[in-house]
Structure 1
Amino acid sequence: MYRIKPWEELTIQDDYMFKLIMSIKPICLNLLQGILRVEIKDIRYLETEKSMNARYQGKGIRLDVYVRDDAETVYNIEMQVRMLEGMNLCKRTRYYQSMIDADLLAEGADYDDLNKTIIIFICSFDPFGKNRHIYTFRNLCLEERSIELCDDATKIFLNTKGTLNDVDESVKAFLDYVNGYACDDPLVQEIDEAIQRIKRENEKRVSYMTFAMKMMEERKAGFKEGKAEGKLEGKLEGKLEGVASSIRSMMENLGISLEKAMDVLQIPANERTKYAALVRN
């Protein structure tokens, strides 16, 4: 049975809290500097939870954190708490990249002027099974590994379960914190204090409960629609289309991604490909 997570129990792993914490500029800036091991003078938010509607037939996306630094590099940061079936996680970065590029081009940029982009997925699991805290991907020539494509597109996967200690101590402390282990690292302490402060803000609590109740209502409406369609079209077909309709509705009305909508509806991992195909069609 679906349960609304109490406000007091939210952690950095929960999308709602993650977005609030990453909207605090010093925290977001310090985390980026630690991950990339470079100095960044300043960042500006292009829009927290940026909504990007496909400019061709297809689905839109919402980015958790979307920022640009003083050198015009664009960053997208996402929290991922579930390993998706097959190659869905990797292909999601490909789709996000295409939508970010389309968004930048829509602002009037020429191909030659496309910003450098870095997509960062913070994963509470090891996406590649090599025990690294960080996996960084850029396009290289297979025949001549010394040749990089230089398309200025980078994808980074952070793994909270890593054991190779291949990141800065502060980043490792942050990843441990995502796992539920706090320490006296300054960045971790700043994040933890911010979460406790946010939880005391009644306005934030009310906003969360409103959002959570809308999700609950959409879920109930989807199952009700599924039952109704099941009577008309046959139980199995009606249930499938009813749940798919609920997913579409949640994506549109609540502005959440396909995967997050399926999380709310508690759709098993082995059934998600089927429902994703129904939604896209």
Structure 2
Amino acid sequence: MSLLEEALCGDKNAAYDQAAKKVLSQKKILAFILKRMVEEFKDESVQDIMTKYIEGTPLISQVPVHPDETNLEYERIQGNNTEDGSISEGMVRYDILFQALVPKTKEPIMLIINIEAQGRANPGYSILKRATYYASRMVSSQRGRDFYGDDYDKIKKVYTIWICMNAPKDMGNSINRYRMTEERLHGKYHAEQWQYNLLNVVMLYLGNRKTQDKLIEMLRIIFKEKASALVKKRQLEEEYGIRLTEDETKELSKMCNLSEGVYDEGVSEGISQGISQGISLEREASLRNLMKNTGWPLEKAMQMLNIPSEEEARYKEILKKEGELSS
């Protein structure tokens, strides 16, 4: 989808994004992800992970990422998802946040699941660095909530798992993991892993082609296949033993309908508005959409879209004339 098409159907993209998060946050789906991605659960059954180890109700677009916001919001939430997240609230939030207990030890770990729907390999910043920042914030925000003073032994391990749904061809159907490891430079001493293995980043890139990897294929069926919710429901049941309830099926159906609507409306409306007007119109529409949905100032929006510096003044003047910016 072009920049202009994305701008023209921005509201539907936001609705689809929220619907996708609700589908992904179902414990039946999360259990498959944990078994494949989180080493603490590799020997557990999907059923046990779902019923014994995932705690409470996953929080969707509720807990802020940035300092001075996270703890306040986290303490306010009682573990139930009571409202939809909104990209217009001006606050960056974790997509899906939940806690799970480690089998045997029953130690809690924090897990963040992010859906990154970027269609471009480079959205203006490194997604991997952003994922590392999210994981670091979930560690630092534990101070004053999970541990106090110098009681650092109570810090919980953190996983942030990013699902990139529109990965470029050379990245598709790949899973990469990043974590802290010990490098012994001299001597014989080894520290115990629990003391330093706190940050874990997993990047999962969905491709368009079928794959032998069971988890990637399941997510590809849910998010990438052009099929009805009933067809996907049957595939999930027959191939993965996932039986969706009536409410869960409704969420899947909503996501599938929005997916078709985003594409169809983006194409038809883009044609009627005249995609042939060129990249200048695309950038103008994208700037307006980005500023509206994120609350960013024009300067940051232009930076994220990689607009050449020599063109910045022209876009600023255009938006001023149209009343988008104050004089």
Q: After TM superposition, give the deviation of residue 78 of structure 1 in Å.
A: 0.8
Whichever residue aligns with residue 31 of structure 1, its letter is: I
- Which sections of structure 1, spanning at least 5 residues, go unmatched? 209-239, 253-257, 276-281
**SS in structure 2 opposite 1:151?**
coil
Whichever residue aligns with residue 172 of structure 1, its letter is: E
2:138 paired with 1:100: yes
2:270 paired with 1:270: no
1:32 alignment partner, one of 31, 34, 38: 34
Q: After TM superposition, give the deviation of residue 15 of structure 1 in Å.
A: 1.6
In the alignment, which residue of structure 1 is the partner of 2:99?
68
Q: Distance in 2 between matches of 1:10 and 1:246?
A: 12
> Would the alpha carbon gap of residues 129 and 64 (structure 1) be closer, same or farther in structure 2, given more than 3 Å must change?
same
**SS in structure 1 opposite 2:97?**
strand
> Would the alpha carbon gap of residues 85 and 53 (structure 1) be closer, same or farther in structure 2, given more than 3 Å must change?
closer
**What are the Cα deviations for residues 119-171 of structure 1, in whole angstroms up to 9, with x where unaligned?**
00001244794665311111234666x9867332111011112889574x244
**SS in structure 2 opposite 1:28?**
helix
In the alignment, which residue of structure 2 is the partner of 1:21?
23
Task: Give the length in aligned residue pairs.
Answer: 222
- Which sections of structure 2, spanning at least 5 residues, go unmatched? 70-89, 103-107, 227-231, 259-283, 313-327
Q: After TM superposition, give the deviation of residue 20 of structure 1 in Å.
A: 1.5
1:1-281 aligned at under 5 Å gives the runs 2-4=7-9, 14-36=16-38, 37-39=42-44, 40=49, 41-43=52-54, 44-45=56-57, 47-52=59-64, 54-55=66-67, 61-71=92-102, 72-82=108-118, 83-85=121-123, 87-109=125-147, 110-126=151-167, 129=170, 133-141=174-182, 150-161=196-207, 167=213, 169-180=214-225, 182=232, 184-186=235-237, 187=240, 190=243, 196-198=249-251, 247=291, 250-251=293-294, 269-271=305-307
Q: After TM superposition, give the deviation of residue 31 of structure 1 in Å.
A: 3.2
Q: After TM superposition, give the deviation of residue 173 of structure 1 in Å.
A: 2.5
Instruction: Give the TM-score normalised by the residue count of structure 1.
Output: 0.58
RMSD (Å) for aligned C-alpha atoms: 4.8
Whichever residue aligns with residue 130 of structure 2, its letter is: R
Q: After TM superposition, give the deviation of residue 76 of structure 1 in Å.
A: 0.4
**SS in structure 1 opposite 2:60?**
coil
> Would the alpha carbon gap of residues 38 and 6 (structure 1) be closer, same or farther in structure 2, given more than 3 Å must change?
farther
Q: After TM superposition, give the deviation of residue 117 of structure 1 in Å.
A: 0.8
Q: Distance in 2 between matches of 1:200 and 1:176?
A: 13
Q: Distance in 2 between matches of 1:113 and 1:96?
A: 19
Contact 2:62 2:94 in 1 (8 A): yes
**What are the Cα deviations for residues 4-32 of structure 1, in whole angstroms up to 9, with x where unaligned?**
4797x999xx3211222134333323332
Contact 1:133 1:172 in 2 (8 A): no
Q: Distance in 2 between matches of 1:172 and 1:199?
A: 17
Q: Distance in 1 between matches of 2:10 and 2:124?
A: 28
Contact 1:138 1:153 in 2 (8 A): yes
Q: After TM superposition, give the deviation of residue 245 of structure 1 in Å.
A: 12
**SS in structure 1 opposite 2:220?**
helix
**SS in structure 1 opposite 2:162?**
strand
**SS in structure 2 opposite 1:105?**
coil
Higher RCO (C-alpha under 8 Å, 6+ residues apart) = 2
Asked which structure has the greater CA Rg, the reply is: 2
**What are the Cα deviations for residues 216-243 of structure 1, in whole angstroms up to 9, with x where unaligned?**
xxxxxxxxxxxxxxxxxxxxxxxx9xx6
Identity of aligned residues (%): 15
